[in-house]
Amino acid sequence: MTESGMVNTATVLSGTAHGSVSVTEVVAFIAALLVIAGLFSLWAAAGDRKTARQARQLVARRPGWTVEKDASPARTRYQHALTWHYKTRKFHWLMAGPLPGGERAEVFQVESLYTSGSASGTRFSTIATVVFPFVLPTVLLGPDDEHPADQRQQPGLPGQPDWRGVKGQAADPEAAAALFTADQLDEVRQHGRAIRMEGHAVVLSIRWHRKPEGMLQLVDEAAALVGRLPAGVLQRAAAQPNPWPGPTAGQPG
C-alpha cells in the first residue's frame, strides 16, 4: 500500500516477500487444468466407444433388440422411478427388445443429482422393465431409507426373512411368500435393489450402473421374478380392474 492508499500492482504481480503468486504460475495452473479436462474427455469418449461396442455385440445375439446411447425419451415414461430427493440429470444406454416368451423389455442407466438436506452428490442407477401379456400381483420391495439397516438391530429369527433396512408390501400373501425371501432381501441391502410389480409390468432397479452384459442380466432377473409366483397368484391377479399397462407417457413408472 502506497502513501496515497493505492496498491502497487507491479509489486503484487512480480511477487513479494509474502509469497504472492506470479502471472506465470497462474497461467501454468490454468493450462494444467485444461490438460486434465482434455484427458478426462478423451477417457470418457473411449469408455463410451467401448460400451457402445459391447452393447451392439450383445443385442446382436437377441433378435429384435436395439441399443441407443441417448435414452432421454425414457424420461417421460419414468417420472416416478426415483424417489423425491433425486433430480434426474441424464438417461443413457437404452437397450430394448422382446424376450423369448413374447414379453417386451428394456433397460437403461440413470445419472441423478442427489440432494437431501445439506448433502448432495451424483448417484447412478440401472433400471430394467419387463411387460407381460398377463396381469401380475401388486408387490413393492426396496430399501427402507427412513430406517436403514443398523448393525445394532437384531436379525430375523432362524428361518425367517431379515428385514433390517428393507421394506415391502404385497396385496397377495402368497406373492409375499414367494418374493420376500432371504436372497431377495439381501439383494436390497447389498445393491439397493427395488422391485415394483404392478399391472402388466415388473420394474427392477439397482443402485450403481452396470456394464451392458450386467444390464441385460438385470432384465433376465426381472423376468425371473414372475417365474417365482404360484399359478394361483396369477389367477387372482387377473381379476384386477384397469391394470397398469407398464411405463408410458400417460401412466409413467
Per residue of the chain (253 residues), give pLDDT as tens: 444 444 444 444 444 445 566 778 777 777 766 666 564 454 445 556 787 888 889 888 989 999 998 888 888 888 755 544 455 578 889 999 999 999 999 999 988 776 666 767 778 889 999 999 999 999 999 998 766 665 445 555 555 678 888 999 999 999 999 999 999 999 999 889 999 999 999 999 998 888 999 999 999 999 999 999 999 999 999 999 999 999 887 788 7
Residue type (1 letter), 39: L
Residue type (1 letter), 96: A
Residue type (1 letter), 92: H
pTM summary value: 0.74
- C-alpha span between 130 and 196 (Å, rounded): 11
Domain boundaries, the chain: 1-61, 65-237
